[in-house]
Chains A and B, each alone.
Chain A
Amino acid sequence: MAEHFGLKYLRREVLPTAFCPGCYNGILMNALFQAFMELGIEDLKRFVFVSGIGCSSWIPSPFIKADSLHTLHGRAIPVATGVKLANPELNVIVIGGDGDLASIGGNHLLHAARRNMDLLVIMINNQVYGMTRGQAAPTTPHGMITPTTPYGNPERPMDVASIIAGTNANYVARWCISQYIPLKNSIKDALSRYSRGFRFLEVYAPCVTYVVRREGKTPGEKLKELMKKCVRIKTWREMSPEEREKHVATGVFKAEDKPGFIETYKKYIAQALGEK
């Protein structure tokens, strides 16, 4: 039997992964590796992965065979920014969760997007803090019961993709984990057609342990549900407010190819010094 195409991007000695059985992180990893393969990327020598704290932050560290920095909770984006600015030749990818990137690291996400910093940020929105037993996150749906919202979440979730689409970021998309092909193609686009500036992918993938199981569903049943729940942005916009609450808007929110921060910075410095 032929070897799985993803194995060459993995550190085999640390497999299997530490994720819960049925965890959707595996689907994302598959999509990521298929994108690499289809782009003809042989190895990840010139890639640097940066992650923070949380389940999805473990995808690159230690599983992906590349240089990786597993940083403090919320601080993946500034570390990635430092790496990219210091060596712009490197492809820098941040993988993290909604708690890590949108809550404790929310300010960095906003400002890296504002700068149009040349990074690909993949945010797995699992709706909770999975690593610490499923507490409410800024993405937790209104009314959901978690250990910190025992009477139902009184807060409303943030729409991270829309917020980032409102900045200077070049590319913003959201896909559900059930939408494998467009998700994989989006990763490819963010590494090829839109390979500069800030690229943000939100991957809607409820935590199988602390969201799906609490609902009494299996990961497979939840995937089937997501296939109905996740609709294209245009369809979602045409829905009534009540219907919108029950659905997730997916698709490409924004796709531009403006110069990223690196180019802008270099140009600005060259001009300033040239005038002297």
Chain B
Amino acid sequence: MTERLFLSGNEAVVYGALDAGCRFYAGYPITPSSEIMHLMAKELPRVGGVFIQAEDELAAINMIIGASWAGLKSMTATSGPGFSLMQEGIGYAVMTETPLVIVDVMRAGPATGQATKSAQGDLMQARWGRHGDQYLVVIAPMTLQEAYDLVIEAFNIAEAYRVPVVFLMDEFIGHGREIVVRRDADKLVERRRPSDHEPPFGSKDPRIPPPMPRLGEGYYVLVTGSTHNEWGYRDVHGFETHYKLVTRLKEKIWGNIDKIFKYKVYGDPDARRTIVCFGSTCRPAIDAAKRVGGTKVLRLITLWPLDYGKLAEELSDAEKVVVPELNLGQLVYDVAQVYPRNKIRVVNKVGGGIPIYPSEIIKALEA
């Protein structure tokens, strides 16, 4: 099946999710992500899936957790304020190793901010929004085709590693319109089921995600957000159990960074000037590099876990680095870990739905 469609990013992400096998959606209306919910409401029942409008985002995130344990690939979509409300639930999903996809169509914040205006201010929140030690995966599409392709990848990662994946879009991608090709996915990953005597919350090698039982099949699984051993029994006192659990949950993601972390180089790969970017901001960045030449664009697809070694390698010859972001500076902290801060030029802009223009990036490159 190959279909060429003229879609918005919000629509593309729905078709991607459906083609990835998503069969459960719970959400709460919020601009600029609502079209995802609208289309899910229409399309999910047609493929035998379930759609429900939750009473709030707290309910939405927890409903998809329940549905995931009952065996369905599940997702929700939201924007800043709703994403904030979902954080505790996302932390629970990390702790209980529940595969989920959470789409955050970023808008200008904090608080209600500018509901219809694009931003990239939720990067740090996507990584660190929960309390405690917890690690998940964050992926950002740049084009509308990628909103389709990469959300399939997001489901695959969620299923393979039993982890919630944050799909970080922004309003420009959500409400933009482009040709999107819908096609049969190369690979769909399904969560592994346990065989006899295989614990659902532990593995000898922490890089191997444990298998996930499905409710109602006689596993008598104990799922808890409290510290638990490999069989799910709570231990809210001991050091060993807690330390073993949280380090395993970290290693499950960071120990597989070679498989999870993805980035792409555009422009002149040997150039000494480098732009580092993610999401929709890479589009003016690539355009700027094309216009002035002699510039490499390093575009991060996976924002978490982030392979700092690879980033350092890519920037080892750089004489100048420009980091454009639709926020007041978040990705720049990653670049500054591997490159002298005083040699980084930033282009920060947010609000009013105004993008970063290629001319502004060129100005920074030539300054």
Contacts and interface: CB of A to CB of B under 8 A. Distances in A.
Interface of A: 11, 14, 45-46, 48, 50, 61-62, 65-72, 74-75, 77-87, 89-90, 107-108, 110-111, 265, 269, 272-273
Contacts of A89: 216
Contacts of B55: 107-108, 110-111
A78 B58 contact: yes
A70 B224 contact: yes
25 contacts: A45-B220, A48-B70, A50-B66, A62-B224, A62-B232, A62-B233, A67-B220, A67-B221, A72-B88, A78-B54, A78-B62, A78-B63, A79-B65, A81-B63, A82-B66, A83-B66, A83-B70, A85-B24, A85-B63, A85-B67, A86-B23, A86-B24, A86-B67, A108-B55, A273-B45
A77 B92 CA distance: 15
Nearest to B91: A72
B70 to A, nearest CB: 4
Given A72-B88, A78-B66, 4 more contacts: A45-B217, A69-B69, A71-B65, A71-B225
Contact of B225 (A65, A72, A107, A110): A72
Contacts of A269: 45
A193 B69 CA distance: 28
Nearest to A72: B92
B71 A78 contact: no
B222 interface: yes
A86 B66 contact: yes
B70 A90 contact: yes
- Candidate in A68, A70, A86 with the most chain B CB atoms within 10 angstroms: A86
A136 to B, nearest CB: 23
B39 interface: no
Contacts of B119: none
Nearest to B217: A45
Contacts of A83: 66-67, 69-70, 215
Given A67-B215, A90-B216, A82 B222 contact: no
Nearest to B96: A69
B67 A82 contact: yes
A133 B248 CA distance: 33
B126 interface: no
Contacts of B59: 75, 77-78, 81, 107-108, 111
